[in-house]
Amino acid sequence: MRILLTNDDGVEAYGLEILHNIARQLSDDVWVCAPVIEQSGKGRGITLHDPLRVKRLGEKRFAVSGTPTDCVQIAINDLMPQPPDLVLSGINRGFNLAQDVTLSGTVAGALQGMTLGIPSIALSQCLDFDIDLMTQWNAAEVHGAPVLSAILEKGWPADVVININFPDCPADEVTGVEVTRQGFRDAHEMHAVKRRDPRGRDYYWMNFHAFDQTMIDGTDLNAVAHKRISVTPLHLDLTHYETMHRLKKTLGGTVPKQINIADDEKAGAAE
């Protein structure tokens, strides 16, 4: 099994080293293609406006001056002699839970693998950023390979990625694996800090608020809060079907009714 690793914390991140150790428990053929610079919060961003540089750091190790999506795309299409059988993205320094999955570069790396037809998994370690980060990877380190093995054995559809979050506790305190759905938090969590630069000009810097998590059974948020490893299948169909069916009845249809109404209104508004 050929495995491609990426992440969004950058090619030198400690979480990538741990993921490499885990991947080596599954295969001898492990490749790395990861961003030169941290890409947290880049979501599914791709680099269209600038060129990308690729640095070969070793026989199977590359750094790219772009996002995780760029990395996976270039690795599979341009750098690897044969495509991988599995893409692993992470291990992210900190959780990717609830609507974070839509902002996460780590999850994006896995999503890009999936869109290229490769089974793909994102992995994140929940951490307490107030204490030494190097000491908090035990849950992922110990349970990573066996949980991956179990998931690989079960399999999942080609248009789905698996998002794993390891809880913020030592490995021996982990109480289980829970298959979850994506939770939701109060979204007023992002905010910008306003500061003044040394030349006296204002700038803003984006940050995240502390927030109260709503603990709802069955969600990724709830699972890790109870020291369980959260496993969430994700896909890229954003359609809200319930609203689609409702609007189809009231708004849509093949008859251009709205357009006719529209034209009348428009004519009125223009005068």
Q: Which residues are annotated as a binding site?
A: 8-9, 40, 92
Q: How far is the CB of 161 from its own copies (least distance, A)?
A: 9
**Minimum CB separation from its own copies for residue 132, in Å?**
22
* Distance of closest approach, residue 24 Cβ to its own copies, in angstroms: 9
Q: How far is the CB of 144 from its own copies (least distance, A)?
A: 9
Q: Which is nearer to its own copies, 78 or 128 (CB)?
A: 78
Q: Which residues, including other chains, have CB under 8 Å from residue 108's CB and lie 6 or more apart?
A: 8, 42, 43, 44, 45, 67, 68, 69, 89
**Min CB(128)–its own copies separation in Å:** 19
Q: Which is nearer to its own copies, 6 or 232 (CB)?
A: 232
User: Do residues 42 and 123 touch, judged by C-beta distance below 8 A?
Assistant: no
Question: Least distance in Å: CB of 176 to its own copies?
Answer: 4
Neighbours of 158 (CB within 10 A): 9
Tokens, residue 143: 């349970």
d(C-alpha 195, C-alpha 201), whole Å: 8
Check whether the bond before 3 is cis (ω within 30° of 0).
no
Closer to its own copies by Cβ: residue 134 or 187: 187
Nearer to its own copies, 16 or 174 (CB): 174
- Which residues contribute to the annotated binding site for a divalent metal cation? 8-9, 40, 92
Assess whether the previous peptide bond of 18 is cis (omega < 30° from 0): no
Cβ atoms 106, 68 nearer than 8 A:
yes
For 74, phi then psi, to 5°, come to -70, -40
Nearer to its own copies, 134 or 269 (CB): 269
Residue 195 burial class via C-beta count within 10 angstroms: exposed 0-12, middle 13-18, buried 19 and up: exposed
**Residue closer to its own copies, measured from CB, 32 or 111:** 111
For the record, the structure tokens of 248 come out as 């189809």
Identity of residue 207: N
